[in-house]
Amino acid sequence: MTEPVVKSHRTVSRVTAILELAAGEPGIRLAPLAAALDAPKSSVFGLVKGLVSTGYLIEEDGGYHLGPALGNLLTADRPTLVDAARSTLEELRDTFDETAMLGTAVGDSVVYVAAAESRQPIRYSAPLRVRRPLFPPSAGKVLLASWPARKRDSYLESVIDDPAALERARQELDRVRTEGFAINRGETLPDVSATARPIVVHDRVLAAVAVAGPTTRIADRLPDIAEALLGATRTVAARLS
């Protein structure tokens, strides 16, 4: 019996969407918020006022920005994941001259929260703080592979309709869990390939580090990059332990 996919709650979804929209477009006003949420202005206004009153948003000249509560109340007194990974991402970029990224699971999405981009004119440019499917990006595969099998399978069933493709995805994630790394050969974007490994702290997968670049340039190097990622992710994990 598969584990059901967690259902969204309308109010919670609207609140988180408001915060994400304010992060992506500082100063966003009520009308664009309501349009983006496809919700009545009156409903969105009530949620926004509640977020302002608790410090999660601030209002300036009719526009809304993220408030101090996010950093002052929700940030633990220890190195952040991004702080711990930043120099490692830069080292990977300098070693392979391809883009190195830090990805985290946000609900049923993968979100890149930091990147060190390749200096080459033609490169993969990582979109930061944007929700993307967990499958098939290499970072998403690594995160999915750490989930309990029933939860993982429920997610896969929600995004893959073809039974044969679904079984191939299950088998691939089993291999990722066993071998500790994932590869994406042009599955998300035809001309881009990548490999990723998890950051594991106290037996818990916190995030994934991925390196991506044009397939014609990176494809033959993926095994070497995957090997280098083993030491890189261990270094980041040690900083967070």
pLDDT digits (tens, 9 = 90+) for 7-60: 668 899 899 999 999 988 889 999 999 999 999 999 999 999 999 888 889 888
Q: How far is CA 15 from the centre of its chain?
A: 19
Q: In what order do the strands lie in the sheet with 28-29?
A: 28-29, 63-66, 57-60
Could you tell me which CATH number the domain at 10-73 has? 1.10.10.10
User: Would you mind telling me the total number of residues written for the chain in this entry?
Assistant: 241
Q: Where in the chain is the domain with CATH 3.30.450.40?
A: 81-240
Q: What is the pLDDT of residues 55-77, one digit of tens each?
A: 889 888 889 988 877 766 666 65
pLDDT mean over 121-133: 92
**For the chain, what is the mean pLDDT?**
91
> Distance of CA 49 to CAs 13, 23, 58, Å?
16, 17, 9
118, two tokens: 């390749």
DSSP characters for 58-108? Answer: EEETTEEEE-THHHHHHS-SS--HHHHHHHHHHHHHHHHSSEEEEEEEETT
CATH class as words, domain 81-240: alpha beta
Cα–Cα distance between 52 and 36 in angstroms, integer?
19
Q: What is the pLDDT of residue 1?
A: 46
d(CA 170, CA 158): 13
| Cα separation values, 128 from 108, 116, 125, 132, 172, Å | 16, 11, 9, 10, 26
pLDDT score of 226? 98
Q: Where in the chain is the domain with CATH 1.10.10.10?
A: 10-73
Q: State residue 5's pLDDT score.
A: 53
